[in-house]
Amino acid sequence: MSGELAKRLADLKEEEAVAFVEKALAEGTDPMDLLAEAREGMMTVGSRFAEEEYFIPDLIYSGAILKRIVSILEPHLKEEQTSGESKGKVVIGTVAGDIHDIGKDLVVFMLDVSGFEVLDLGIDVPEAKFVDAVRESGSKVVGLSGFLTPAFDSMKRTVEALREAGLRDDVKVMIGGGQVDDRIRGYTGADAYGKDAMEAVHLAEQWIGG
Amino acid sequence: MEKKWEEMTPEEKREARFETWLSAEGVAFQSAEAEASYKANIRRLKDAVLMEKAPDRVPVLIMGTLMQAHLYGVTPEECMYDYGKLDSAHKRFLQDYRPDFFSTPAFVGSGKILDILDMQQYRWPGHGIPGTSGYQCVEGEYMTAEDYPALINDPSDFWLRTWLPRVFGALEPLKNLGALTDLWEIVGVSGHMIPYGIPDVQNALKALMAAGDEAMAWIQQIGAFEMEAKAMGFTSSVGGASKARFDILADTLRGTRGAMMDMYRQPDRILEAVERLTPLYIRQGVGMASFAGNPLVFMPLHKGADGFMSDQQFKTFYWPTLKAVILGLAEEGCVPFLFCEGGYNSRLEYLQELPKGSCFWVFDRTDMTRAKEMLGDTLCIGGNVPSGLILTGTADDVKDYCRDLIDTAGKGGGYLMSFGTAMDEGKPETVHAMIDFTKEYGVYA
Ligand code: B12
């Protein structure tokens, strides 16, 4: 594989990337190879984001380009082929009382393209739902997102609920979003605070998928 | 003879606006001390902002959305449905905490009005979220990627016939109206009235009237509180409001994702749109400040913060459009109050382009030492007391933090004490500590 698609995607050349995929498919390239290359391109986007060369709009835009590419490839892929080798499972959601999703979605997206299997519980997620999800999935990492200050208490209660369910020692909890900072990590009893989506990936890698 | 308004320089206009503010027309002060305190607050802020001399001490400005109510056990739902309860919490807050400036309970809108109009762009307590949560935005493309020409051609028409119908369920039928500018000459009148006869449109108009009735009830209570707060010697930190035009696009119209995609897919359209909106948002700020008799124009800044775009994008889409509104407001003698959310560490150099004393900046997560270094000669800065510290720290933690701020960012004046965020919750000992400590320690020689 030439790396051409990865480069076009990493450089956010939407039309060029799409044209490349269409041409390559027509020429009989294996769609799985194209998908793998697109993932590679996304990893470059992620590292550019971590190096502050790229910012939130670049993440969002790269996501839109990827979506277009996947929709072209999808009809050519067999069902089980869409997900690659998983580094591990991460449960994530925006905590109770909070309905913000932009930040959480970016975290989900970066974890996903980095090879994690993400269980996204959505927004306004009650404590019990996190507990159930951890229990059922056996996930070792939980990500709590929250935007407004009342989320601090919801995060704290979620960490407590995990403890009460006897699961606290089995999982690492990371928190982030909006007004959260390291002080709040202490307050909530979480294991780590991550300032952006790439830090979420790094934390998860450190804990389960290094 | 007094100069006509049009003949005055921007500085003279600003001076005249401060005079109006100081004169407190129609306010019956409760005591001589209250009056003295009201005026001292304004002079203190004026000295801090104009930066010609240090004020007597660091001004204390408290920005809270639901915090005042929270401190007295009033829930977000009660705030939005029982204006009296909201007012009384705000009044007790002023009596107990005595900040120099109050933030108006008008920041918490009426839930009843939202119910009547069936607003789709937000969830509010008891309406999609629990009664104990603050209202929250629902991200969406309330303007589509294809709508730019309509917005650019005629913004007000776009708002009336496209945006309102999408954002308010009860106003959806307004999409059936004709363009107002289609109405000309006597022969056109009758035909133009037809849509107003459609039963759905009439229901929408009835909803507007009902919302208007409720707005009257609301403003009577909120207005009475504001009058009383002034009579007690407190001053409002907000006269008018405006926004950076890119934020109008990215918050109100296209949503975060939509606006960000447009930066790549249709950059020229964004530029055309924000250009078109400039005079409208100068007009809003000036109009409101004139009506309130208070020159401060509050501008919350959102999507230009650190991380939200690259330097190149900031330089292209955000800064020129923000700067034009700031300068336009200052030209009319207003004082823009930039509520700078998130971090602005990578943007401080741009702020150096602003004329001395033209506006002031309340920062959230910006490095205050560096901000002082870079802006200390030209612009008043403040803010940065973290919400997390207030809610989970001790009084001593807060005092230490405020001492540091006053020693560094507050050095020599040009500084005001404020939270970095509009607070939804509070903790009595830390909020007291911030206010009381600043009044005591923040005195200039
Ligand atoms: C944009 C914005 C809005 C928009 C939101 C919707 C829209 N259409 O965009 C609008 C204008 C509607 C708005 C409204 C209000 N807002 Co507002 N808003 C913001 C702002 C500027 C940016 C938020 C944002 O979009 N972030 C982008 C996302 C991508 O960032 P993020 O969620 O933090 O996620 C990133 C990281 O944190 C991290 N992350 C996220 N989750 C997780 C999870 C894990 C596990 C990890 C590791 C990492 C991680 O990764 C993400 C990507 O890198 C912030 C200030 C700021 N700069 O943070 C204020 C802010 C959140 N708003 C605030 C307020 C007060 C309000 C209002 C109440 C104001 C009012 N009186 O009307 C309302 C209502 C509340 C609401 N948000 O709906 C306050 C909240 C303070 C508080 N008390 O909690 C803030 C902090 C501003 C301030 N300094 O006062 N707001």
Atom of ligand 1 nearest to the CA of B423: 83
- Whether residue A159 sits in one domain with residue A97: yes
The pLDDT tens digits of the residues spanning A4-19 come to: 999 999 999 999 999 9
Question: Which architecture does CATH list for B8-63+237-441?
Answer: Alpha-Beta Barrel (3.20)
A-chain residues near B423 (CB < 8 A): 149
- Whether residue A195 sits in one domain with residue A99: yes
Tell me the mean pLDDT in the region B328-342.
97
- Whether residue A96 sits in one domain with residue A164: yes
A140 part of a folded domain: yes
The pLDDT tens digits of the residues spanning A190-203 come to: 999 999 999 999 99
- Whether residue A129 sits in one domain with residue A48: no
Tell me the mean pLDDT in the region B270-298.
96
- Whether residue A19 sits in one domain with residue A96: no
At residue A79, the pLDDT reads 62
A40 part of a folded domain: yes
Cite the DSSP H helix spans in chain A: 4-10, 14-26, 31-50, 56-73, 102-113, 127-137, 151-164, 182-188, 197-204
Q: Which amino acid is at B310?
A: S
At residue A210, the pLDDT reads 60
Give the Å distance between the CA of A147 and the centre of ligand 1.
Answer: 6
At residue A78, the pLDDT reads 74
- Whether residue A106 sits in one domain with residue A203: yes
At residue A80, the pLDDT reads 57
Supply B393's token pair: 């720290």
Domain residue ranges in chain B:
8-63+237-441
Mean of the per-residue pLDDT values of chain A:
92
Q: Is the pLDDT of residue A116 over 70?
A: yes
Give the Å distance between the CA of A46 and the centre of ligand 1.
Answer: 22
Tell me the mean pLDDT in the region A86-112.
92
At residue A209, the pLDDT reads 72
Which of A61, A79, A97 marks a domain boundary?
A: A79
Q: Which of B44, B102, B47, B98 is nearest to B436 (CA)?
A: B98
Tell me the mean pLDDT in the region A51-63.
94
At residue B170, the pLDDT reads 98
Residue pairs between chains A and B whose CB atoms are closer than 8 Å = 86
Q: How confident is the model at residue B167 (pLDDT cuts 50, 70, 90)?
A: very high
> Touching check for B139 and chain A: CB below 8 Å?
yes
Q: Mind telling me how many Å the CA of A9 is from chain B's nearest CA?
A: 13
The pLDDT tens digits of the residues spanning A154-179 come to: 999 999 999 999 999 999 999 999 88
Instruction: State the residue range of the domain holding A63.
Output: 4-79
- Whether residue A202 sits in one domain with residue A174: yes
CATH number at residue A175: 3.40.50.280
Tell me the mean pLDDT in the region B137-155.
96
Q: How confident is the model at residue B406 (pLDDT cuts 50, 70, 90)?
A: very high
Closest Cβ–Cβ partner in A60, A184, A187 for B260: A60
Tell me the mean pLDDT in the region B59-88.
96
Q: Which of A70, A83, A56 is nearest to A5 (CA)?
A: A70
Q: Is the pLDDT of residue B376 over 90?
A: yes
Which of A28, A56, A79 marks a domain boundary?
A: A79
Task: Test A60 with B138 for CB contact under 8 angstroms.
Answer: no
Task: Test A57 with B308 for CB contact under 8 angstroms.
Answer: yes
Tell me the mean pLDDT in the region B311-326.
96
A84 part of a folded domain: no
Percent residues over pLDDT 70 in chain A: 96
The pLDDT tens digits of the residues spanning A12-38 come to: 999 999 999 999 999 999 999 999 999
Closest Cβ–Cβ partner in A55, A64, A149 for B261: A64
At residue A82, the pLDDT reads 53
Distance CA A116, CA A206 (A): 13
N-to-C CA span, chain A: 25
- Whether residue A187 sits in one domain with residue A98: yes
User: Into how many domains does chain A fold?
Assistant: 2
A68 part of a folded domain: yes
Distance CA B390, CA B397 (A): 9
CATH number at residue A46: 1.10.1240.10
Closest Cβ–Cβ partner in B123, B393, B424 for A149: B424
Rounded to 5°, the CA angle B64-B90-B403 comes to 50
At residue B2, the pLDDT reads 73
CA B155 to chain centre: 21
Q: Is the pLDDT of residue B81 over 80?
A: yes
Q: How far is CA B287 from CA A153, B187, B292, B322, in A?
A: 41, 35, 9, 18
Q: Is the pLDDT of residue B41 over 90?
A: yes
- Whether residue A199 sits in one domain with residue A123: yes
A-chain residues near B267 (CB < 8 A): none
Atom of ligand 1 nearest to the CA of A106: 52
At residue A83, the pLDDT reads 55
Query: Which range among A70-74, B300-304, B330-334 shows the weakest confidence by mean pLDDT?
Result: A70-74
Percent residues over pLDDT 70 in chain B: 100
> Touching check for A180 and chain B: CB below 8 Å?
yes
- The H-or-E segment that residue B257 falls in is helix B255-265
Task: Test B310 with A55 for CB contact under 8 angstroms.
Answer: yes
Distance CA B307, CA B304 (A): 8
Task: Give contacts of B 200-259 with A, CB under 8 A.
Answer: 256-257
Which of A79, A108, A123 marks a domain boundary?
A: A79
Q: Which of A30, A49, A8, A10 is nearest to A200 (CA)?
A: A49
Give the Å distance between the CA of B44 and the centre of ligand 1.
Answer: 31
Q: Is the pLDDT of residue A103 over 70?
A: yes
- Whether residue A93 sits in one domain with residue A56: no
At residue A2, the pLDDT reads 65
Q: With a 6 A CB cut-off, is B141 part of the ligand 1 pocket?
A: no
A-chain residues near B309 (CB < 8 A): 55-57
- Whether residue A94 sits in one domain with residue A138: yes
- Whether residue A141 sits in one domain with residue A74: no
3-class secondary structure, B95: helix
Mean of the per-residue pLDDT values of chain B:
96
Q: What is the DSSP pairing of strand A172-176 with strand A192-193?
A: parallel
At residue B12, the pLDDT reads 97
The pLDDT tens digits of the residues spanning B178-222 come to: 999 999 999 989 999 999 999 999 999 999 999 999 999 999 999
